[in-house]
Amino acid sequence: MNFGAHTARIIDRIGSDVLYTPYGGSQKTIKAVFSAPPKEFLNVEGVSPMVSVKQSDVPTPKHNDGLVVNAVAYRVIGVNPDAASGITALDLEATS
Amino acid sequence: MTHVRQQIREAAATAVTGLPTSGARVFQSRLAPLDADSLPCLLINTDDEEISGLRITSPDLLDRRLTLSIRAVAKVASNLDDTLDAMIKEVESTLGTSTFGGLVKTLQLEAITIDMQQAEKPVGVATLKYIATYMTVANAPDTAI
């Protein structure tokens, strides 16, 4: 079984269209799974937004790459690739 | 009359209400988490207190050093440090050497500490630790003398 192909199908099936703009590059639409679990930060309510993307869609993600998810603009502040699954989890920060 | 601790806390809250950054978002002794509508804000707490007795009257005179903590809390997309520094400036400028109408003998800023964490936007807390000195008679903690 090709684990990478399997996880890619999952992303395609449950993911949503997001706009991805590599820093200094051109925007493209990709499938991504977005989550924003709630958490408290210094007694302030907040969330930890992140997306999972296919490495085939975003082979070289970098900090400050841009994403638009559900009309909210984010920048990448953390890159967590997983070679086995072919998925990269990107930590996000809202830009406004 | 309420304990002088409470009078000091309320006087501090009144003094810092309406500052440019935090506006009316001033909360006393708040424990509940802060939501987006509550920010940026100031949290006012009267914390630990050192007390020494002066046996020159009966009951004793109490010489008291109260820690008054004012926390400036903000969550902003950029320049969190600038926002916190602006809030610190506003609080310091307002309190200055205030005596809260004679409630305290002195009000001294002793320390400032900063905490920051990453949420969907950066979150930061600047804590201004003031020492308020005041005196009471041992059996009359509601009257500053």
Tell me the per-residue pLDDT of B31-78, one tens digit each, with 9 for 90 and over: 999 999 999 999 999 999 999 999 888 899 999 999 999 999 999 999
Q: Hey, which residues 126-145 in chain B have their CB within 8 Å of chain A?
A: none
Element (H, E) at A93: strand A87-94
Give the whole-angstrom CA distance, residue A85 versus residue A74.
Answer: 24
If you measure CA to CA, which chain B residue comes closest to A45? B35
Q: At what angle do helices B80-95 and B4-16 cross, to 10 degrees?
A: 120
Q: Please tell me the pTM assigned to this model.
A: 0.91
| pLDDT of amino acid B107 | 97
Please give the pLDDT value at position A3: 87
| Interchain proximity B39–A46, CB inside 8 Å | no
**A47 contacts B121? CB cut-off 8 A:** no
Could you give the C-alpha distances from B57 to A39, B140, B145, in angstroms and in order?
Answer: 54, 13, 13
